[in-house]
Structure 1
Amino acid sequence: MAPCRLPVLPVALLWVLASSSSSPSTVAPPRDLQITDPGLLGSLDVEWRPPPHIQTFNECTVKYKFEYRSTGDRDWKVIFTRKLKLRVGFDLSRSAEVRLQTLLQGRCTDDVEVHSDWVYATFQTSPQGNLESEVQNFHCIYHDWEYLKCTWQPGLLTPHGVHYGLYYWYQGLEQALQCGHYIQEQGINVGCVLQNLSQAEYQDLNICVNGSAAATLLRPLYTTLHLHNLAQPSAPEQLVLSLSAAQELLVAWSPPGGRAPPHCLEYEVQVAEEDAGEAAAAWAIVSTQMETALTISRANQSHVSCVRVRGRTNIFCADQGFWSEWTQACFSVSRKEDKQLFILIPVILSLSISLIIFMLIGQCKKRREKSRGHWVSASVLGCRGHGKQVQPRWVPPGFGI
């Protein structure tokens, strides 16, 4: 399958717009503005020649105001340069538009900036294949700042036996490269894993997903990615909960492993509290922060507190990012009633054991006396003391009264 470099229309639609000012410009516009495709999946080369007789303005600085956009974009991107060639990125599924003017300022203009009329140029690839043959649901995630995983689904009008290929390019590569590790379903490439992309961070990563099938042209998909906006870190590590002397919940964790820069991460902390015997409460956000520790007040003095934490790239390192998975832990706190009960239980057990021991000792003494005989008084034996004290008499075991 041929790489994603399609036949292009020759440079076209080059013209000069007449000045809307009533007085003519004092400097001419650039000449021979043209756009060419070096086959870098959306990075186009734009070059021009300086205006005629520019060398006569040797007491002034000559520079150019360059603006560009893809058809449909509302705003123009602006570059001020003294160069005569630029390489800028476009969405090749749409037309590329550029405009350029000369800026002159210095002693020759009494330090007043003078600008020329605009010159314009456009560029468009020749349409190929039905629009519905383009892959669908293209989605990428930069996992842990270590590898990029992109997935897609075949287009609606995909013939049998289709073969998809992903090509990519970023500044520093001499040419576009093809994916070396595809993800397949039923023998069809539906994804790609790209590694070693650290040099592509914070710059344009041009992607093209092209398809081929016997005697059928398929519409290629072009897109430009920014890895820092697609980053998804791993879940935070070593989440620990403890209770302070003031009955506050202390939460601490560590940044995730991998290549995710710790200073580029922010964390969301949620808490759910419940009383014993009740259903678990809903999770509530308590903080979004860059620090890896937090103190949470326990206003309702709940019996069980559960905390979960997740992370993503913060606004200082990306415009957006994907949240990680949750790290979760729970902490059970004894209530006042439970503490009182825990104190009473040992006391009750001690008293019960002591009572049982005393009863056992009493029973043992009775059994010992019964086995040795017993004492009876003289009156029981029928003796008369006649006023004298009669001593009790010992009756051996086995003798009745």
Structure 2
Amino acid sequence: MAFRRIYLFTLALVWGCMASSSSQQTAVAPPQDLQITDPGLLGSLDIEWKPPPNVQTFNECTVKYKFEYRNTGDREWKVIFTRKLKFRVGFDLSRTAEVKVQTLLEGRCTNDVEVQSEWIYATFQVPLQGKLESEVQNFHCIYHDWEYLKCTWQPGLLAPRGVHYGLYYWYEGLDHAEQCDDYIQDHGINIGCMLQNLSQAEYKDLSICVNGSAAATLLRPLYATLRLQNLAKPSPPKQLMVSTSTSEGLRVVWSPPGGETPPQCLEYEVQLAEEQGKTKAVWASVSTQMETAFTIARVNQSRISCVRVRGRTNIFCADQGFWSEWTQECISVSREEDKQLFILIPVILSLSSSLIIFMLIGQCKKRTPPEKATHMSVGC
């Protein structure tokens, strides 16, 4: 009995020592000195930290970091796994920026089990001036034909007369934030901006700030982060042609729009208007596709009065986009068939008249004696 107690005690002691040793080997500290700095790039902030103090003791393990960030009010964190110690990421500066980072340790020193440290946190908030109602309203941007960005806004509710607005922008590749040099004005007030030559900003975060100034009044700036490809609006498709064929039916063919819109980035919607008697024709979508041709079965042509097509950026090039305007060409299939019938009627009548004349001539020849036939006229 005593021997059994000694055995159990020894076993517990050994297990405790092993657990303690394993715990000491796999414990890892969080990073240190997490800092957020603003380089003046309209929302792109620099986040930096230092490695944990005991990182050099883990020679047989890989040390990585899990970095997460968001704006206050966002439901989800954006996650980055990295071995770097510094990142530049975009935020909406009208809200508080939140970041957190932890150490990840894995390798022989942890028996290939990932060990995580505690999190460390940091926040950043730009001092906001002016009341919220002084911020510009209805800010809206469209990237037309992948050639130029047009942004418009309206003065804030509390903006006084004589207010002056300026739009500033930055994207990765520019040394510093730049100001718009082509404003849209209404009664001398800037209410919009046209930005050209932004191809280098495609598929990057485009940071924008619309700031206002007025005598003796503080105005709150507006911050926005855009993705150009998600704001793209192409021109309508070109050269819409509709043809009929007995075998194929109604054939609709068009060409991609002009401008810099990549043809491979477009999808199209085809709509038909069907005749409803005396009521107004009703439009119905019949196809959404990436091809530039569509065939409609012959059986449906008698009810089709018009065809139109529009385009937008497809899911392979953007998360979303704006539809173009509809093509303006319109063809009345029923009228076209009536025109063909109108052309055929005189031909049929002409053939019928000829046939009647020949039949009368034949009857006359049967009635006329052979010896007098040379003295008869064709008209009997």
Q: Deviations over 1:269-324 (max 9, x none)?
A: 0011338x855521111100000000012434427631100000011111110011
1:154 partner letter: P
Q: How many Å separate the matches in 1 of 2:302 and 2:210? A: 54
Q: Does 1:283 align with 2:283?
A: yes
**Retained in 1: the 8 A contact 2:170–2:178?**
yes
Higher helix share: 2
Shift of 1:110: 1.2
Who is 1:98 aligned against? 99
Q: Does 1:269 align with 2:290?
A: no
Who is 1:161 aligned against? 162
Counterparts of residues 309-328 of structure 1 (less than 5 Å): 309-327=309-327, 328=329
Who is 2:247 aligned against? 246
Shift of 1:213: 0.4
Higher alpha-carbon deviation: 333-342 or 225-234: 333-342
Who is 2:39 aligned against? 38
Q: How many Å separate the matches in 1 of 2:146 and 2:226? A: 14
SS at match of 1:263: helix
Counterparts of residues 213-362 of structure 1 (less than 5 Å): 213-246=214-247, 248-274=249-275, 278=278, 280-302=280-302, 305-327=305-327, 328-333=329-334, 342-346=343-347
Q: How many Å separate the matches in 2 of 1:246 and 1:110? A: 71
Shift of 1:247: 6.2
Shift of 1:329: 2.8
Shift of 1:333: 4.4
SS at match of 2:264: helix
Label 1:53 to 1:153 Cα distance change in 2 as closer, same or farther (>3 A).
Answer: same
**Retained in 1: the 8 A contact 2:249–2:301?**
no
1:297 partner letter: A
Q: How many Å separate the matches in 1 of 2:252 and 2:176? A: 49
Higher alpha-carbon deviation: 343-352 or 310-319: 343-352
Work out which of the two has the higher radius of gyration on C-alpha atoms and give 1 or 2: 1
Who is 1:396 aligned against? none
**Retained in 2: the 8 A contact 1:235–1:324?**
yes
Q: How many Å separate the matches in 2 of 1:341 and 1:29? A: 87
Label 1:333 to 1:133 Cα distance change in 2 as closer, same or farther (>3 A).
Answer: same
RMSD between superposed Cα atoms in Å: 2.4
1:294 partner letter: F
**Retained in 2: the 8 A contact 1:303–1:335?**
no
**Retained in 2: the 8 A contact 1:273–1:280?**
no
SS at match of 1:199: helix
Who is 2:363 aligned against? none
**Retained in 2: the 8 A contact 1:272–1:280?**
no
SS at match of 1:108: helix
Q: How many Å separate the matches in 2 of 1:339 and 1:179? A: 58
2:282 partner letter: A
Q: Does 1:122 align with 2:120?
A: no
**Retained in 2: the 8 A contact 1:101–1:117?**
yes
Q: How many Å separate the matches in 1 of 2:225 and 2:337? A: 60
**Retained in 2: the 8 A contact 1:60–1:104?**
yes
1:245 partner letter: T
Higher alpha-carbon deviation: 277-286 or 182-191: 277-286
Higher alpha-carbon deviation: 334-343 or 78-87: 334-343
| TM-score, with length taken from structure 1 | 0.78
Q: How many Å separate the matches in 2 of 1:98 and 1:81? A: 15
Q: Deviations over 1:101-148 (max 9, x none)?
A: 001111111111111000000111112001100000000000000000
1:296 partner letter: I
Q: How many Å separate the matches in 2 of 1:55 and 1:289? A: 57
Q: Deviations over 1:20-67 (max 9, x none)?
A: xxx887000000001000000000000011110211111111110000
SS at match of 1:194: strand
1:93 partner letter: S
Shift of 1:221: 0.2
Label 1:324 to 1:341 Cα distance change in 2 as closer, same or farther (>3 A).
Answer: closer
Label 1:172 to 1:349 Cα distance change in 2 as closer, same or farther (>3 A).
Answer: same
Label 1:86 to 1:136 Cα distance change in 2 as closer, same or farther (>3 A).
Answer: same
Label 1:79 to 1:347 Cα distance change in 2 as closer, same or farther (>3 A).
Answer: closer
Q: How many Å separate the matches in 1 of 2:195 and 2:189? A: 18
**Retained in 2: the 8 A contact 1:270–1:286?**
yes
1:141 partner letter: I
Who is 2:150 aligned against? 149
Label 1:299 to 1:118 Cα distance change in 2 as closer, same or farther (>3 A).
Answer: same
Q: How many Å separate the matches in 1 of 2:336 and 2:163? A: 66
Higher alpha-carbon deviation: 240-249 or 253-262: 240-249
SS at match of 1:299: helix
1:33 partner letter: L
SS at match of 1:32: strand
Who is 2:371 aligned against? none
2:264 partner letter: H
SS at match of 2:109: helix
Shift of 1:255: 0.6
Shift of 1:337: 8.1
SS at match of 1:132: helix
Q: How many Å separate the matches in 1 of 2:268 and 2:215? A: 50
Counterparts of residues 177-192 of structure 1 (less than 5 Å): 177-192=178-193
Q: Does 1:29 align with 2:30?
A: yes
